[in-house]
Amino acid sequence: MNKRVAFYTLGCKVNQYETEAMSELFQKEGYEIVGEEDIADVYVINTCTVTNLGDKKSRQFIRRSKNKNEDAVIAVVGCYAQVSPEEVSKIEQVDIILGTNDRKKIVNLCEEVREKRNKINLVTDIMEIREFEEMKIDEVKGRTRAFLKIQEGCNQFCSYCIIPYARGPIRSRKLDNIISEVENLSEKGFKEVVLTGIHVASYGKDLGKVRLIDVIEKVNEIEGIERIRLSSIEPTIVTDEFMNRFSSLSKVCDHFHLSLQSGSDTVLKRMNRKYTTKQYKEIVDIIKKYMPDVALTTDIIVGFPGETEAEYNETFNFVKEIGFSRIHVFQYSPRKGTPATKLEGQIDGNTKHERSKKLIKLGEELTREFNNKFIDKVTDVLFEEESKYKEGFIEGYTTNYVRVLAPGDKSLEGEIVPVTIKALENENLLGEILSK
């Protein structure tokens, strides 16, 4: 009987990519990949530590896994393991602690623990790591959109964020390795790639002359790939030169997730963000000059320490002014080890909740406003799967990342087809397929 391994993944798309890469390492050694609720010989918990809730969920799953199989090997990897190895080591069920480096060793480590029943802590000082850990994926699950990790680490040190301490300094993946993996994805039938990383905008700063736009241009040349999308990017990467080169490419998507966090200059300064609202607006204007129908999505933190009602209102009005197509609103959560926890004026929960609720409502209005623009227009949709929202329909996304539902079945999965948009229903666009 095959040995069985289960994964539990928290957090971002980078974590999901890394879980895929680790699961492939196990498969190559004859392991069967099973669901997180199944009985397994090895449980790998790929942790997130952006919020305290992520740490709590990780601890709960560790204990639950051991209850399923008391002889199972429990490996805790990722950001929580990296920043709090002592805390993780106190959880008696944990056998292996591995941070955000050396994940290629995970199968051998699990085999060693299965044989010797010893405990291993391989967490090292991530600030000393200077090489990108190559973890390519040969067999990507799915067949429409693939995430591709091209960068690791962050040098920004925003005052609320633990990630630079969890992921270390910036490291960029070699361009040849990126192109090789994209070519493999194309051969497997993928039409869209999402270039992702911890701080994608800093790609190449450790390599010399190569930059993110150079990667995008090279990927654009690969036959079979029809869409290139970026994960969250720092606004300051966007210049006239960047947009001139970017917009001239045939495969790039007119969608940017442009990190904002606050629409108040005084709050941005306390957050240690590297731009002002004036600069951010100028960047948005540059993008819209080259891509008038662009979708701009963003993240906002409400209730940052010291945020006054006036500062919150500045954010509210700035979000309205920019006209985002979607916003993700987070209530500030103190993260041990970050400078923001020491700031005066911590905001109470009720205030944070009310501010969040009001901003979410504005976000919903902006989304409806943006999506309404597509009614009676024809747009290309990459269909991904049978709809979770409407029986007998298939769903997919436009280039500017709006979900579209149309009557259809699985035969359309992985196809890009023109759709006439007829109506808006609960933030989803409903349409009719023009032709296959």
Which of 367, 372, 378 is CA-nearest to residue 432?
378
* Tokens describing residue 59: 């601890």
Task: Decide: 109 and 158 in contact? Cβ < 8 Å.
Answer: no
Q: Which residues of 226-242 are buried (b: 16+ CB within 10 A; e: fewer)?
A: bbbbbbbbbbebbeeeb
With cut-offs at 50, 70 and 90, classify the pLDDT of residue 81: very high
What's the mean pLDDT in 360-384? 96
Q: Which residues of 391-427 are buried (b: 16+ CB within 10 A; e: fewer)?
A: eebbbbbbbbbbbbbbebeeebbbbbbebebeebeee
Q: What is the pLDDT of residues 122-158, one digit of tens each?
A: 999 999 988 998 887 777 666 678 999 999 999 999 9
Please tell me the predicted confidence (pLDDT) of residue 142: 64
* Tokens describing residue 233: 């990017």
With cut-offs at 50, 70 and 90, classify the pLDDT of residue 435: low
Task: Decide: 200 and 148 in contact? Cβ < 8 Å.
Answer: no
CA distance linking residue 25 with residue 178, whole number of Å: 19
Task: Decide: 173 and 134 in contact? Cβ < 8 Å.
Answer: yes
Q: What is the pLDDT of residues 4-47, one digit of tens each?
A: 999 999 988 899 999 999 999 999 999 999 999 899 999 999 99
Q: What is the pLDDT of residues 98-112, one digit of tens each?
A: 999 999 999 999 999
Please tell me the predicted confidence (pLDDT) of residue 357: 98
With cut-offs at 50, 70 and 90, classify the pLDDT of residue 57: confident
What's the mean pLDDT in 313-332? 97
Q: What is the pLDDT of residues 250-268, one digit of tens each?
A: 999 999 999 999 999 999 9
Please tell me the predicted confidence (pLDDT) of residue 436: 52
pTM of the predicted protein model: 0.90
Residue 389 has pLDDT above 90, yes or no: no
Please tell me the predicted confidence (pLDDT) of residue 157: 95
Please report, rounded to a whole number, the percentage of residues in the chain having pLDDT higher than 90.
81
With cut-offs at 50, 70 and 90, classify the pLDDT of residue 50: confident
What's the mean pLDDT in 381-387? 93
DSSP at 337:
T
Rounded to the nearest 10 degrees, how much is the dihedral formed by the CA atoms of 217, 221, 222, 228? 40
Higher-scoring residue by pLDDT: 416, 435: 416
Q: Which domains does the chain have, with CATH numbers?
A: 4-124 (3.40.50.12160), 145-369 (3.80.30.20), 378-433 (2.40.50)
With cut-offs at 50, 70 and 90, classify the pLDDT of residue 52: confident
Task: Decide: 97 and 121 in contact? Cβ < 8 Å.
Answer: yes
Please report, rounded to a whole number, the percentage of residues in the chain having pLDDT higher than 70.
98
In the sheet where 96-97 sits, what is the strand order?
32-34, 4-9, 42-47, 73-78, 96-97, 120-121
Please tell me the predicted confidence (pLDDT) of residue 298: 97
Q: Which amino acid is at 416?
A: I
Helix then strand count (H, E) for the chain reads: 13, 18
